[in-house]
Amino acid sequence: MSLERPDPVLDDDAVLLVGHGSRREESNEQVRTLAAKLESRLSVPVDAAYIELAEPSIDDAIESMAPTCRTMTVVPLSLFAASHVKNDVPLAVQRARATHDDTEFRFGSHLGIHPSLVDLLDERARAVESDLGVDREDDDVAVVLCARGSSDPDSNGDVHKLARLLYEGREFTRVESAFIGVTTPRLEETLHTVARDRPDAVVVLPYMLGDGVLTGRIVDKAETFDEEYPYVDAGASGPLGTDDRVVETLADRYREARTGSVEMSCDTCKYKVELAGYEDDEGGARAMLRSLVHQAEHADRSDVDDDPHVHDAPEKHVAVCTNQTCAASGAATVLERLRQGVRDADDCDVHVSRSSCLGQCGDGPIVAVYPDSVWYGGVTPDDTDRIVSSHLERDRIVSNLVHQSL
């Protein structure tokens, strides 16, 4: 597709491209590179921000950009819609809407399934075929599309759909989907299953944005498979990277958000409907608390080389609602007093964060303690000493302050 012609845009538009964030600077640089390419494509300012592990955060980036634009479109640089896309980024947009009255915020969709990405995968497969000396039109070529894997059924389901779209209309013997972690089928299992049909070659496509730890594992497993099965040639491609077709997909997601035509798969969202096996997964405030804990756990990690998603979690996490009504009742002072109390405590493994609205307007400031699922209401600065010394240090709930338990 041509990337020459910029789209007409509204005056004072800006875009915030939100990546996951990594302690590996090359991964963060990829987000900035895509932001620069997208800016050139759209002819509007595009900045980069990160959900965790890198700076600037979404909140900081919005704070910097909001005064300079009338409309801001936040687009998540995420392949599929799992917890970050459904919880963390929307919560940041919600906070921004509450604090920046002069700026209109739009929330774009994740990359998802897009014809440009299918074309890119097809091209990656042809490159591996060329390296292996095979041609799908003359040889039996099987493809294994390998994604990260998620606890969200929407995300995993889209991997299977993408694999099917890659198969349709092409001369592959078969296209299978697999995962490198979290869920099944795992890559090794799928490779062994495919090998039973004795294809001439197996092409492994890592469905990853960057060349990180998980991409490396996929490549290593493809190499091991190639050694174990001498009668099948096997090779793996590189990740999607900063290819122009990724930029084209991001541009489409921006256009959808700008015109109000963003669609999410709510009919199969585990936070919206009851799906077998996911009955205990809930959205709203609980999902927000989980996402806050997730961010704090990442912040505590000093080494992610071996496993980027293994955490050293704090014992407790405290969220203080700082939305408008709670803020007017002194939430900012409550937040700082709690933080100071935790710092001064002798043995208190607690992370204290501000949160967006917890849906209890008029009963605040609201203080939620996780994983205890205890919410305190009408908390004053003087109450913070009791919350720290009794609940956070000794696990004794301050009963007269309890607003509700989840």
DSSP letter for each residue of 156-182: HHHHHHHHHHHHTTS--SEEEEEESSS
Per-residue model confidence as pLDDT tens digits over 89-128: 888 898 899 899 899 999 999 999 999 999 999 999 999 9
CB neighbour burial string for 323-344, b if at least 16 within 10 angstroms, e if fewer: bebbbebebeebbebbbebbee
Q: How far apart are CA 195 and CA 230, in angstroms?
A: 10
Q: How far apart are CA 280 and CA 210, in angstroms?
A: 32
Dihedral sign (CA 383, 389, 392, 396): negative
Q: What helix, strand, coil percent values describe the chain, rounded to 5?
A: 45, 15, 40
Q: Are residues 25 and 103 in the same domain?
A: yes
Q: Mind listing the pLDDT tens digit of every residue in the chain (406 residues)?
A: 444 445 544 448 999 999 998 888 999 999 999 999 999 999 999 999 999 889 999 999 999 999 889 999 999 999 998 777 877 888 889 889 989 989 999 999 999 999 999 999 999 999 999 999 999 999 999 999 999 999 888 899 999 999 999 999 999 999 999 999 989 999 999 999 999 999 999 999 999 999 888 999 999 999 999 999 999 999 999 999 999 999 999 999 999 998 776 765 554 555 555 556 655 655 555 555 555 555 555 555 555 555 554 445 678 889 888 777 787 888 888 988 998 999 888 778 888 887 777 777 788 899 999 888 899 999 999 999 999 999 999 899 999 999 876 5
Which of 81, 107, 133 is at the close of a domain? 107
- Domain around 396: 316-401
- Domain count along the chain: 3
259 part of a folded domain: no
Q: Are residues 214 and 131 in the same domain?
A: yes
Beta pairing partners, 49? 18
Q: How far apart are CA 197 and CA 291, in angstroms?
A: 43
244 part of a folded domain: no
300 part of a folded domain: no
CB-CB contact of 355 with 370 (8 Å): no
Q: Are residues 51 and 120 in the same domain?
A: no
Q: Are residues 178 and 132 in the same domain?
A: yes
CATH of the domain at 93: 3.40.50.1400
Q: Are residues 88 and 166 in the same domain?
A: no
279 part of a folded domain: no
SS3 146: strand
Q: pTM of this prediction?
A: 0.68
Which of 205, 236, 267 is at the close of a domain? 236
Amino acid residing at 46: V
Which of 64, 82, 107 is at the close of a domain? 107
- pLDDT of the residue at 275: 54
298 part of a folded domain: no
308 part of a folded domain: no
- pLDDT of the residue at 294: 57
Do you find a cis peptide bond into 185, omega within 30 degrees of 0? yes
Q: Are residues 70 and 155 in the same domain?
A: no
- pLDDT of the residue at 108: 92
Q: How far apart are CA 141 and CA 207, in angstroms?
A: 18
Per-residue model confidence as pLDDT tens digits over 150-159: 988 889 999 9
How far is CA 354 from its chain centroid?
A: 20
147 part of a folded domain: yes
Q: Are residues 84 and 30 in the same domain?
A: yes
Q: Are residues 123 and 96 in the same domain?
A: no
Q: Are residues 166 and 224 in the same domain?
A: yes
Listing from the earlier edge strand, what are the strands of the sheet with 174-179?
A: 174-179, 141-147, 201-206, 233-236
Return the H-helix or E-strand segment holding 26. Answer: helix 25-42
Strand pairing class (201-206; 233-236)? parallel
CATH of the domain at 387: 3.40.30.10
Q: How far apart are CA 21 and CA 49, in angstroms?
A: 8
Q: Are residues 121 and 102 in the same domain?
A: no
- pLDDT of the residue at 296: 56
In 3D space, the residue among 26, 76, 81 whose CA is nearest the CA of residue 51 turns out to be 76
CB-CB contact of 285 with 368 (8 Å): yes
Burial class (CB in 10 A: 0-12, 13-18, 19+), 195: middle
306 part of a folded domain: no
Q: How far apart are CA 13 and CA 9, in angstroms?
A: 7
In 3D space, the residue among 226, 225, 216, 153 whose CA is nearest the CA of residue 180 turns out to be 216
- pLDDT of the residue at 1: 42
CB-CB contact of 383 with 366 (8 Å): no
